[in-house]
Structures are given as C-alpha cells and as structure tokens.
Amino acid sequence: MIEFEMPKPIAQQNYVLKTVADNMMRPVSRHFDEHEHEIPWDYINFMHMAMRATGAGSLAPRERPKDEKKEEKPDEEKKKRPPIAYQMLAFMLETLSWGDVGIYLVTPGGGLGSAAVEAAGTPEQKQKFLARFAEEKPTFAAMAMTEPQAGSDTSAIRATAVLDKETNEWILNGEKIFVTAGHKALLESQGFVVVWATIDPKAGRAGMRSFVVEAGNPGATVTKLEHKLGIRASDTASIVMQDCRVPFDAMLGSPEIVTKSTKGFKGAMATFDATRPLVAATGIGVARASLELLIETLAAQGITIRYGLPRQKLTNIEREIIDMEVMLRSAWLLILKAVWMADNRKHNPMEASMSKVRAGDVVTKVTQKAVEIMGPLGYSRDLLLEKWFRDAKITDIYEGTGQINRLIVARNIFDYSGSELR
C-alpha cells in the first residue's frame, strides 16, 4: 500500500528535535558562523547525553544487554513493525539542519566514518570501532577520501597502504583534505578517521581499501582547518599520514579482500548509497528554513500566497514561492523513498543519487531565491537567509557533486558501466 502517514516515533522525534533546533541551534547560529573553528560544546555535550539516553541517531540496532532483550515483545509483534531507522535518521538530519546545518555537522557520533564501518566492516570491527560512541565523552568519526589532486575521481587517490609483514601492520602514507570533523575525530575526542588508500597504485579501483586510523596515532597529523563559504561551525580538516601504522585488522572488511578485487571500492560506494539521501536531507532542512522565513516575513507585510489560482493570476512572488514549494516537497519525497528503500533492504543507488541530484539543485535555488526576493533584507546579516544561502551550497558538492550523481543516474538509466559512460 502506498502510504504517507508519518510513523509516531518519527513525529515524536521531530517534536523533540524541533525544540533542540529552536533552543540550542538557532540562538547560536550567527555566533558560530562568525567565529569559525570555535566548537559548539554546549550543543555537542547536550546531544551526546540525549543520544546516549535514547539511542537516537543510530542506524544499527544497538546491542543490548541480554536481560533487557528478554523483555522484548514476541517475534510476531516485532515483525509487524516495518524498519524505519534510515527514515528516522533522514528526519532527524532534516530537522537539525533546519536548526543549523553547520552545527548539526558537529553532532557527536559516527557520521560518515561510522557509516563506512557499518557498510563494510566485519562484526568484530563494528564492535571494536563503534562501541566508543556510547561512552561517557562525546566522540567523533570522519571519512577521509578526497586528496588535493583527487576529488570526484575517487579512483585517482594516491595515499598508499603497504603491509609490513614482520609486524603485520599497514603503513599509510599520503595527504587527505576536506575531512569533515577530522579535527574533532583525532584531536578533540578518542575517535577515528576512515582513510581510503590504495594497496596497489597500478590497480586503480581494485586496489582501494579503507583503514581505520584512531585518535592518538602519531603517524596522522591534522595540518590545516579550511575557511569556508558556509557550514563554518563544522571543521574541515587536512590530515597528513606519514608512516602511519595501523594494525592489520584496521582494514575494513574481511581479510580475503586483501587480494585484488573491487570489493573495497564498492564498499565505499555502498556507503554513499546509504549516506547520499541523508546528506540531501540536511540540505532540505536548510532550504525549508529559508522558505519558511520568507513566507513568514511576507505574511508580516500582509502578503499571503493564494494557492489554487491559475498561474496567470499569481503575482511573481506567489509564483516563485509556489514553485519553491513544489521543488522542496518533491525533493524531500525522493529522499524519503531512497531511505525507505534502504530500510527495506532494496537496492537503491539510482534513487539515492536522484535524491541527491534533486536536493542539490533545489536547495541552492530556493536559498538563492529567498535572498533575492527579500532584497536588501535578504542580503543583510541581520537575518539568517544569507547564511543559509551559503550553507546550502555545499549540498550540491559534498558526498558526490550533482554532476557525479547525474553520471550515476545516467549509468543506471542506460545500464552502462563506468567505462561506457565516462
């Protein structure tokens, strides 16, 4: 049955998170935009406490102590409840990003690093690396893929991993840039960074593997924090690895993939199938914030939108806003479908990329239009519209640019491989 009824747990979660957004994010939005690299610890500590208590924000069903498990409802009843973990997460990210996407990005927990461990790690690795997020202090994880010379073309990365057979350790060398939360993962908490490197530079994608580099590793150094157009509360780090040694089992996946195969690379791509709709959701939050403020500001001046009129009778502003609503709502529904598929274990690379393509387009347009329509008010830093404009732009860039995602969608349409449609 086709249904669009919001499940109760999501509605409850939205309600709580809206309060967080209203009280812990919006009031400090401007401050952390203007004080780049300052860390919003109040938000971080609060969220860590809250997420620890509720289990919110986690994709994996948490391992609970045995005695607690017994009290669970019988299997029959459990089966009736459809899985909604990804949907929960999409709503969570949307609402928090509605509050402030830069601050949302410093939410403690796994982020992309954990998603990579979730997607490609063995059960032992998941236990070893993910358990830390439930501990007392807030902990961060990051994903390090991009290098100075390789962005979208992830197969061109040069960081290397060489196995030291004597010590059974991997030795990593190379430089990673644009590592979201990399500073917090390595220096501000006992976190980790999932580093992508090649075990055979000649093998292209087949040589790609991911390695967990933990905080405190002397071979990994944070060398730079970027100054950005937006999402300034979120740290974007450069990390240099110099003879950075990690244990053999820090390589994600089963040991067999040490042999040449593209499984490692596919692991990274599978991570993106899961995370792209989520990143898209953060953009929708920003754009919704812009659109709502726009509509409120207009309403305060006595301008209401007359839905239902033929276009020919609408004012230009009404038409713009109605178009924005169409764009925003339809983009959100693409996201919802992509995460619904993820929840139901349906193969969703095309839907994930479509949701990202649409969201990237829509959120940049909506936030740009909002500034335009508000004229001098929109351009002023008195309102947050100009900040949201800057924040939204990253949606179409990170986690696969709009163009990369178009390529993925097109390959799916035509059933082409990467070499057939380059």
Partner 1 sequence: MYSFEPSEEQKMLVDAINRYAITDLRKQAHQAEEDNQLPIPLVEKGWELGFLQASIPEAFGGFGERSAVTGVLAAEELAYGDLAGAMAILLPGLFATPILLAGDDAQKETYLPPIVEAEWTPYTSALIEAQFDFDPNKLNTVAEKNGKGYLLKGEKIYVPFAEEAHAVLVYAQYGGDTQGFIVPKDTEGVEIVERQKVMGVNALPLYKVKFNDVLVPRENRLGGEAGHDFAPILDASRLGLAAMAVGLSRAAFEYARDYAKERDVFGVKVAQKQTIAFMMAEMVTEIEAIRLLTWEAAWMVDNNKEDASKEAYLALTGAMDMAMMVTDRAVQILGGHGYIREHPVELWMRNGRGIATMLGLTIV
The verdict on 35 binding partner 1 (CB under 8 A) reads: no
Q: Judged by CB under 8 A, which stretch of 55-63, 193-201, 320-328, 392-400 contacts partner 1?
A: 320-328
Q: Which of 156-164, 234-242, 289-297, 317-325 is the region at the interface with partner 1 (rule: CB under 8 A)?
A: 317-325
Smallest separation (angstroms) from partner 1 to the CB of 11: 11
Residues 41-60 that bind partner 1 (CB under 8 A): none
Taking the complex as a whole, the smallest distance from the CB of residue 316 to partner 1 amounts, in Å, to 15
Q: How many angstroms separate the CA atoms of 315 and 229, rounded?
A: 33
Q: Between residues 384 and 407, which has the closer beta carbon with respect to partner 1?
A: 407
Among 179, 250, 294, 331, interactor with partner 1 by CB under 8 A: 331
Q: Which residue in 147, 320, 386, 399 is the catalytic one?
A: 399
Rule CB under 8 A: say whether 167 interacts with partner 1: no
Rounded to whole angstroms, the Cα distance separating 143 from 179 reads 6
**For partner 1, which is the closer residue by CB, 1 or 300?**
1
Chosen residue from 279, 330, 387, 401 binding partner 1 by CB under 8 A:
330
Beta carbon of residue 284, minimum distance to partner 1 (angstroms, whole number): 12
Closest contact distance (angstroms) between CB of 48 and partner 1 is 29
Instruction: Tell me how far, at minimum, the Cβ of 311 lies from partner 1, in Å.
Output: 7
Least distance in Å: CB of 321 to partner 1? 11
Among 123, 308, 375, 376, binds partner 1 (CB under 8 A): 308
Q: How far, CA to CA in Å, does 332 sit from each of 7, 19, 130, 253?
A: 16, 21, 29, 33
Cα–Cα distance measured from residue 53 to residue 368, given in angstroms and rounded to the nearest whole number: 38
156 counts as binding partner 1 under rule CB under 8 A:
no
* Residue 99 to residue 40: CA distance in whole angstroms: 14
Sign of CA dihedral 91, 94, 98, 102: positive
Query: Tokens 């949606």 correspond to what residue?
Result: 395
Contact code string over 62-91 relative to partner 1, x by CB under 8 A: --------------------x-x--x----
* CB-nearer residue toward partner 1: 5 or 166: 5
User: Which residues, numbered 355-414, are part of the site for partner 1 (CB under 8 A)?
Assistant: 357-358, 403, 405-407, 409-411, 413-414
Instruction: Indicate the burial class of 293 (C-beta count within 10 angstroms; 0-12, 13-18, 19 or more).
Output: middle
CA gap 123, 292 in Å, rounded: 43
Best CA proximity match to 195, nearest among 132, 254, 237, 257: 237
Q: How far is the CB of 345 from partner 1 (least distance, A)?
A: 13
CA dist., res. 174 & res. 182, Å (int) = 15
Q: Which of 286, 291, 293, 349 is nearest to 105 (CA)?
A: 286
The correct pick among 329, 377, 380, 381 for binding partner 1 (CB under 8 A) is 329
- Cβ distance to partner 1 smaller for residue 197 or 278: 278
Among 4, 67, 136, 345, binds partner 1 (CB under 8 A): 4
**12 makes contact with partner 1 (CB under 8 A):** no
Quick check: 313 binds partner 1 (CB under 8 A)?
Answer: yes
Note whether 304 binds partner 1 by CB under 8 A. Answer: no
CB of 280 to partner 1, least distance (A): 12
- Nearest of 146, 161, 151, 174 to residue 240 by alpha carbon: 174
Q: Which stretch binds partner 1 (CB under 8 A): 116-124, 141-149, 269-277, 304-312?
A: 304-312
CA distances from 164 to 199, 213, 383 (A): 12, 16, 56
Assign residue 59 a region: left if phi > 0, alpha if psi is -120 to 50, beta otherwise?
A: alpha
Amino acid letter for position 58 = S
> Binding partner 1 by CB under 8 A: which of 323, 379, 397, 401?
323
Fill in the DSSP letter of residue 345: T
Binding-site size for partner 1 (CB under 8 A) equals: 48
Cα first-last separation, the chain: 39
φ, ψ for residue 22, nearest 5 deg: -65, -40
Q: Within 10 A of 202 (CB to CB), how many other CB atoms are there?
A: 7
399 is catalytic: yes
DSSP letters spanning 55-114:
-TT--SPPP--HHHHHTSPPHHHHHHSPP-HHHHHHHHHHHHHHHHHHHHTT-SB-HHHH
DSSP, res 131: G
Of 336, 309, 332, give the one whose Cα is nearest residue 321. 309
Footprint of partner 1 (CB under 8 A): 1-7, 82, 84, 87, 307-313, 322-323, 325-327, 329-331, 333-334, 336-337, 340-341, 351, 354, 357-358, 403, 405-407, 409-411, 413-414, 416, 420-422
Residues recognised as catalytic: 399
